[in-house]
Amino acid sequence: MGRLLQSGVLLASATVLLGGILYLKANASHPVNLRTFISEPADLRSATQLLRLLSHGNPAAIVQLGILFLIATPVARVIFAVIAFAIERDRLYVVVSLIVLAVLTLGLLH
């Protein structure tokens, strides 16, 4: 389980780093206004639009993908725990892990 978390964080970090470098390279000549907050574009909030932007190599979409990898890492760990406890036939920990997975899923969807 430790390797799963480590691999997920490393993958997310590398993806965000790559996207950040590409973003800085693409926007190096644009002035930055730090007085007003500008939210992320709506295209980055939709899965289909995110995939479209990723196919075009959009740097902000690559950063967003890295953030999604980071969010998916603990979810994958809980899924792995459910499977491992089911193989060991430890019903109590399967139930507890499923409850944790349900809480994570509800938190992500709302």
pTM of the model: 0.79
Non-local (6+) Cβ contacts of 90 within 8 A are none
Cβ-based neighbour number of residue 2 at 10 Å: 7
Task: Please say whether the beta carbons of 61 and 54 come within 8 A.
Answer: yes
Q: What is the pLDDT of residues 46-85, one digit of tens each?
A: 788 888 888 898 898 999 999 999 999 989 999 999 999 9
Please, how many CA atoms are within 13 Å of residue 7, restricted to the half-sphere of its CB?
Answer: 6
Q: What is the largest CA-CA distance in the chain?
A: 59
- Domain containing 64 equals 2-109
Q: What is the pLDDT of residues 91-100, one digit of tens each?
A: 999 999 999 9
CA–CA gap between residue 39 and residue 29 (Å, rounded): 20
Total domains present in the chain: 1
